[in-house]
A and B are shown apart, each in its own frame.
Chain A
Amino acid sequence: MTERAKRYLAIMAGMLLALGSYAQSNTMYYMTGQPQAYYLNPASQPYCAFFLNIPLTPVFLEGSNNSIGFTDLVWNDPNSDAVIHPLHPNASLDDFFAQMVDKNTVGLSFDATPLSFGFRAKDMYFTFDAGLHTRASISYPTDLLDFVIRGNENGRLYDFSGLGFHMSSYMEYALGISRNFYDMFTVGVRPKLLVGLAHVASDDNHIQLYTSNREWRMNSEIELQMALAGMNIPTKENGTFDLSGKFTFDSTASIGQILTANKGFGIDLGTHLKPTESLTLSFSAVDIGFIKWQKYTQSTTLTGNFNFEGVVYHPGDTTNIMQSFTDSLKSEFKTTGSEAAFTTTLPTKLFLGGSYALLPSVDAGILARMDLPYMNDPLKTNIMLHANWHPSRALAFAFNYSPFKNSGSTLGVGVFTRILFLSSYLYFDYFPMEYNSYKFGNLPGIPFPANGVKQFNIRFGTSIMIGNNQMKKLKKDKPMYYSDENE
């Protein structure tokens, strides 16, 4: 492996380790001629007559971290030659906790599309995708970290409700239909049939702890939801999840029964409006939908209120103090459970943007994005400036910049290339404007984003594109007067 290749690998590893961002690349939004742009706006039409994504691409990987990043954990101390951390005598734990949010979330998403193709039919464009989508996250409240590191304050109420996790995996079969009206108005719709594969979540918890020297008082309600297609989940007689039980495969069910056990429906909607030749206004709503988990389900809720006013000890009493304390604790918590169906929603995103053609091959504009609350993730908004340079239909670059993002300015970078009928693309979002290099000895440094940038995602794929001059041909063939009689 050459030094340059090692360098590339180190850079890639660093960026992947600095995972961040939320659901889908933004950079490709205005790459409207490319096949992958319809993932963000179903009104977008590829310029080719037909495309087929090479199986298992496109691939999308993203991570999320809405709180402290690696640069908040180790840094060069300006007062010494040492590299220090938040627990160092020269550091301030107050400052460290001030950087955190009430509910800190770390997430990972992975999308792979085994089958994806599309074709043009006059002013309409049809696409079909069959893809696997997996989302996972864990969240922890700052109060919990504070409690563990700094201990408990006298007379303080700690809120641990942000403690949770979720993992959800489903197949998506999406049929996209887009229609162009007079090159001025394009609408698209992309209904989706969803097949739930697995869902394990405990993200709607309410846990509070009041501590003082007189009493510790805990109120909690913790819920665990599970659905694993084709797997029998071990349960106790009272219907609650049996932690010591074994998961068994349901050998009595056919593959068809398993795959249709947990169905859902979703839809993407979008439009592009061109009031002038140079201006494009766009709106889209992506991943509106739900999955109803009906079979192989389990829901268990643990509720309890507990008061601790000191260990009760009677001299001469032979009862084990810790045993009686544990028994007392257990008696205060009740579990209930059922195999009832439950519904989960998709991570819905809204986009609103405008793009202006500054030059025939250069577009620039603004794009606003809103991620609606989903599982552990709160509502998120982002406003980006974007610019696309497409010197030819075989080569295009896309950039976007988030100057207003709280976690630091970031750059999105994308490139699309095509040689004959084979095209490939690669997009990064939240590309850091600055980075620190972390070195061990004389080994090459590992880059991590500086200035609190904690987000990153990557989308790449390879497609076969046929009929790349189809639009040009259609335009050439278009008569001066157009009516239905001409057909």
Chain B
Amino acid sequence: MKQPHLLFLLLAVSLLACKKETIQMDNLSTDVKVPHQIAIPLLQTSMVFEEVAGRQADSIIEYRGDSILLFFPADFSLRDTMEIPKTGQNLRFEHFYLYHGIQNMFPIGLDIDLVLRNDDLNVNLDTFSLKGKDADVDVPFIEPAPVGSNNLVDESAVHEKEGYLALDSTFFNQYYGDATHLIIVFTLQQTADTLRILDHYNMDIRLSIDASGYYIREETADSTQTTTP
């Protein structure tokens, strides 16, 4: 019976006649670049300190009949330096926003500065102050609670402050570019030199992020993004 043969011949001929291109699957590239983004609320936490050690009188810690005064040196800061890895970085950020809502009853705040440094040239490339925003006005990342004339925290004046820390392409271009080290500087902020200590404090924190970037893996020999050994 020749007819089925005829049909197959017809199909084969029509297929051969309409071939568009050959794709050699052995040449399939394993390079990958995937843009990725995330926007997510991260954390809601409340830190409460109650019954702070010591005798209490009207919610003020006393020692031998006197309230305890706390003294902070001005511009007390800590710094940490970390090397920026230049290979094996598959995940690259384009922007990173950290949103926060903080109700801080402590009379101590916090500022964070990021310094991008090229250690080979012995030069600091740029400094990014991670200020918070309050009605478009720069404020410390964590603003210290207001203190009254009696050197006590004014609890009625403590409210939640919202803000965000923005690291955008200006930062990341240098981070992934010429910078070899990242220096993080934490600076404590305070509203008075001396403070009287209450027997209770609390801090409410909400954190969320909005970030974008991409995952990249290239196996080209001359690329600094090579991840394959």
Contacts and interface: CB of A to CB of B under 8 A. Distances in A.
Given A84-B29, A439-B24, A447-B15, A311 B40 contact: no
A10 to B, nearest CB: 10
A395 to B, nearest CB: 7
A294 interface: no
A19 to B, nearest CB: 16
Interface string B1-16: 1011011101110110
Contacts of B7: 415, 426
A150 B24 contact: no
Interface residues of A, number: 62
B19 interface: yes
B21 A311 contact: no
Contacts of A212: 39
A256 interface: no
Interface string A372-405: 0000000000000000000000010000000000
B15 A419 contact: no
A321 to B, nearest CB: 10
Given A89-B31, A89-B216, A439 B6 contact: no
Interface string A436-462: 111111000101001100000000000
A207 interface: no
A145 interface: no
Contact of B22 (A85, A413, A445): A445
B23 A76 contact: yes
B3 A211 contact: no
Interface in A395-435: 395, 411, 413, 415, 417, 419, 424, 426, 428, 431-435
A428 B12 CA distance: 13
Interface in B5-51: 6-8, 10-12, 14-15, 18-29, 31-47
Given A83-B23, A419-B1, A315 B47 contact: yes
B99 interface: yes
Given A149-B34, A310-B42, A434-B18, A413 B10 contact: yes
Nearest to B28: A83
Q: Is the interface of A mostly helix, strand, loop or mixed?
A: mixed
Contacts, number: 160
Contact of B8 (A8, A149, A309): A8
A213 B12 contact: no
A249 interface: no
Contacts of A181: none
Nearest to B8: A8
B12 A7 contact: yes
A88 B33 contact: yes
B3 A417 contact: yes
Given A87-B34, A309-B44, A436 B39 contact: no
Contact of A153 (B11, B33, B39): B39
Interface residues of B, number: 50
A154 interface: yes
Interface string B198-209: 000000001111
B177 to A, nearest CB: 19
A82 B44 contact: no
A88 B32 contact: yes
Contact of A436 (B20, B45, B206): B20
A153 B40 CA distance: 9
Contacts of A440: 25-26
A155 to B, nearest CB: 7
Nearest to B213: A151
B43 A439 contact: no
A447 B15 CA distance: 8
Interface in A85-101: 85, 87-89, 93
Nearest to B38: A151
B97 A213 contact: yes
A149 B37 CA distance: 9
Contacts of A215: 41
Nearest to A394: B3
A7 B37 CA distance: 46
B222 to A, nearest CB: 14
Given A211-B39, A413-B10, A83 B21 contact: no
Interface in B186-225: 206-210, 212, 216, 218
A322 interface: no
Nearest to A415: B7
A487 interface: no
Contacts of A312: 44-45
Nearest to B23: A438
B29 A211 contact: no
Given A213-B208, A309-B41, A439 B22 contact: yes
A451 B218 CA distance: 29
Contacts of A424: 3-4
Interface in B115-162: none
Interface in A147-178: 149-155
29 contacts: A7-B12, A11-B15, A83-B25, A87-B33, A88-B29, A88-B32, A150-B36, A150-B37, A151-B38, A151-B212, A154-B39, A212-B39, A213-B39, A215-B41, A308-B41, A309-B44, A310-B41, A310-B43, A311-B43, A315-B45, A413-B14, A424-B3, A434-B20, A435-B15, A435-B19, A439-B23, A439-B24, A450-B21, A451-B20
